[in-house]
Amino acid sequence: MTGRKFFVGGNWKMNGDKKSLGELIKTMNAAKLNADTDVVCGAPTIYLDFVRSKLDAKIGVAAQNCYKVAKGAFTGETSPAMILDCGVKWVILGHSERRHVFGESDELIGQKVAHALECGLGVIACIGEKLDEREAGITEKVVYAQTKVIADNVKDWSKVVLAYEPVWAIGTGKTASPQQAQDVHDKLRQWMKANVSEAVASSVRIIYGGSVTGGTCKELASQKDVDGFLVGGAALKPEIVDIINAKA
């Protein structure tokens, strides 16, 4: 046993309304979830208060983004302080959609990670290569560079979960094979050992994201360096319960 507690994050993205999310929350609250798995739901900002008030206390809630400072003239942004004020303890940062749709740089993501951690939020920090980068054989170069910017901004690794999400597998129905996922997770752990510390390398949770379903989760979960999942589309469906219980 690794001693790393399995972690499943559901990233609801820009989906749902009070009615549909309320139904999903009822399903999750009533489900028998593996007590040895940490579960966190990433809700749209406008519903953070609603979701935190309805969801069973044993299930965590995450914001899907935050800004790098506590307050100020930043129209449309949300600060870690505001997220915490809603009783929410986690934030997802560096998701490929933030990087590639909204143009967030590695530097900005690093600044956000530093500020969120300083404020006491747990951070699900995302990294991952695009299809052309994988095909060019530079997967490691890309994910190491992204990980370095995150690592440079972390003092307490116990509050960080690293999410490896190959961009070519997000929402495409393509999943990295269990072996492909394990291979990158193993290399990331080796990078952490060389560049952070052996203790952090063995304790940090590295989760996989990219078209994870009830059908693919068990085999992925059996890989020794896959410590859980960040789930997109399937997180809005009842099958999220099967994914949470992949290690049961």
From the candidates 95, 97, 115, 129, give the one annotated as an active-site residue. Answer: 95
Backbone angles phi, psi at 134, to 5 degrees: -65, -45
**Percent of the chain that is helix, strand, coil (3-state, to 5):** 45, 15, 40
From the candidates 133, 165, 198, 239, give the one annotated as an active-site residue. Answer: 165
Q: Could you tell me which residues come within 8 angstroms of residue 156 by beta carbon, excluding any fewer than 6 positions away?
A: 117
Burial of 244 (0-12, 13-18, 19+ CB in 10 A): buried
Q: How many CB atoms neighbour CB 158 within 10 A?
A: 10
**SS3 state at 2:** coil
Q: Is 152 left (phi over 0), alpha (psi -120 to 50) or beta?
A: alpha
Q: Is 45 left (phi over 0), alpha (psi -120 to 50) or beta?
A: alpha
- 165 assigned to active site: yes
d(CA 94, CA 5): 22
Q: Are 230 and 209 in contact (CB under 8 A)?
A: yes
Q: Are 7 and 227 in contact (CB under 8 A)?
A: yes
**Residues involved in catalysis:** 95, 165
